[in-house]
Structure 1
Amino acid sequence: MTIGFSSRTAASRSAVTRAALTCSAVCAAGLLAAAQSPASALTDAFPRAPRPAAPPPSSLNQPGIQVRPRPGAPEVPDVSALSWVVADATTGDVLAAHNAHRRLPPASTLKTLFALTVLPKLPGSTLHTVNERELEGIGAGSSMVGVAEGITYRVSDLWRGVFLNSGNDAVHVLASMNGGWTSTAAQMQAKARSLGANDTHVVSPDGYDTPGQVSSAYDLAVFGRAGLRNPDFARYCSTAEAMFPGHGSSTYGIQNTNRLLTGANGVERYPGLIGVKNGYTTNAGNTLVAAARHGTRTLVVTLMNPQAGGGLTVYEEARSLLDWGFAASGEVDPVGTLVDTRSVPAGGPSAAGTRAAGPARPGPAAHPGRAVRPAAGDRPLNSPRPVAAAPSEDSGLGWSGAAGIAGAAVLGAAGVAFALRFKAGRSGRG
């Protein structure tokens, strides 16, 4: 027996097939619309907030004063330094700057980079007896703390000699322990590059005037900010007074030469000052890296070679920039950022258990209207942690998900068509 279809049955089958395909297309379109409708509904019910505009490009490479004030922002003070920077130590935002990348002799502020490079390698409790060779080659007129041949020092003593008295003799001994003068200079150069400080060229690790040795206010701000992440660095740079070993069992007092920290020579101490490092040479003039904390904010200010006044001008200009930076909180937009140093290891051997630093100094006076957090030696600066990226607001089923739904719809409709066709075929058998 032959199985076939009559012309009426074939027509019926063709109509059923067309209907099924039409149903498939309608079903697919409906499902695609349904796949998009929830996001559309959410968008309509809760209008999407405008995305923040990308920050304007950095203007730190431009000459002159760079600042982006909002209406009502305080005016930037008149500062005579050839180069300066005011930056937020936590976020890295540069609030204002003047010739930030101008390359100038850094003097002893370069010791910040020396400490960043060598501190992690020499535990503070290590004992070392100084020999004559280690004190050779110290430049004429160098600042000295009084390191002497034959005396045994703790490494922590030597670091206090570096930070408080800016002792080039202490730097020479520590550099010798670190592999030598030339090797230490090369390590410092590599450290500067790893921090993104590309204006710095190191020749003499102690900052002594040497042809070709330069840095910039920007790079010094990077070094100061990175240093505050190291508890030992923060402790040493905030120490105002200490006792230093002499011959036999004798000791003598040394004082930090940063007048904003000590209030010496008629310079008023700055409230909340953490420290960091000052410097002076004939070619560099006066240089300074200063950090201060008011409330929840920590600022880093760097100045290189003020052109007005005498040797104390650098401190008064730093004071005016710090005052401005705290007053301008939320009133200016950044003109650039310090490179992020969080990926660079900040740790170092703890100075705990080392020789006592001498008489404790009183805490910083409270700034009017602001609480003062503990000094950095008690609480090192904490940089913000990276925030995980949130899913995009446009995320949903996407085209791949919608295509899957459409494909399922077509297969379902095809199945309906096949079933109807099979039923129609059975009704036409002879």
Structure 2
Amino acid sequence: MRESLRARLLLWHVATGAAIILAFGASVTFLTWHTRIAAVDEDLRARAALLEAAIRPDDSGRLDFILGPELRQADASGLYHVVWTRDGVLIDRSATDVPAPEPAADGLRFADGHRERHSTAAEGVRVLVGTDLAGVRRDIWSLAIRLLLTGAAILVVSVAGGWWFTGRALAPLDRINRTARLMGEGDLTARIPSEAVDSEVGQLVAALNSAFDQLHGAVERQRRFTADASHELRTPLATMSAEVQWALARERDPADLRASLEVCARAAGRMQSVIERLLFLARGEAVASRPTLVRLDEVARDAVDHVRTLADAAGLHVTVEAMPATIHADPERLLEAVTHVLTNAVRYNVADGSIAIETREIDGHAELRVRDTGIGIGAEDLPHVFEPFFRGDPARSRDTGGAGLGLAVTRSVVEQHGGTIACQSTPDAGTTIVMRWPAVG
């Protein structure tokens, strides 16, 4: 493909160069021919003037035609002349091998390879002055051949330079092709060697490398997502398998069997929760087709009621400062999102800690803020807290009972409703989650 493109570019280069050279050569040849003919015409005019001056009528009406020897012979430039009376009777002619033509109308003309000038002198005498153009034609042909050879040499050099230049100009395409081939073979870390950023090719390479970085990141996230999802499902499956094998190993008391089934039920419930959240994230489940007006302050209070038991069991103090704020949303999805945030605030808090929930309307936006006094999140982990299965700190482990999907689901719900979500945190000081949506009314 590259060779084909290179050949096409070179063909256009050669065709354009040849056309320019031919046009230039033709123009130079034509202008030279025109200049030489103009010089010949001037010589013919000067010779005709001398001949006309040599014609003198006397008192009897006869004509005296007195020519010097230099006018009777064709000179070195090939000039010759013929003179007739008014009636066409030959009066005089040069010593030349050119056949004497018939008188013609005044003016310049080409005749049988000659340039001739016809004019009328005193008493209607007809004067012809001419010259052979063979020398001029030889000079013009010689010039044309020299121009052609010179143009051909220039064209050959131009072709060689064009081949080198197009090869150099298309070299980035080779690098792009090699990089794409490596990525197609599975090496997603391959990148195109950078070019000067101020060139069009450099900007293209930078854009492609940026796209490759995003693709690599997406694939890595997908791999991590798949691995984490497999692990989350493998743990309860292993639990259920172990319990079933234990129950089937020998006869068990009903109480033992019931306890084993309860363990299996909890494992199945965990699996169902993980699968539902995975399906939600995978489908990008849409919000209600007809969102309703929702009071954000009421959603905040309902979410607090959902986690009140967990908070009391952990000895946490929960406060709600809910100012009225209304948005368009699916109330069930919105409640689920806020509940996920509050659940995280409970799980990763400290003993005797606190959680504060605030809602307000500011600058045309409805805002819900959840602030806790928990273990916090490191600065290096903040950009990833809304990614599925992300756990940056060992303390935020599966032992807390979460699968690492809650905040990912929350972000999806918030963004589906046209909102934004942000996280601010300081290790050992606490975390603040801020959600904002366009306010209504």
Q: TM-score, normalised by structure 2?
A: 0.27
Larger gyration radius, structure 1 or structure 2: 2
TM-score with structure 1 setting the length: 0.27
Name the structure where helix makes up a greater proportion of residues: 2
Work out which structure has the larger RCO, using CA pairs closer than 8 Å and 6 or more positions apart in sequence.
1
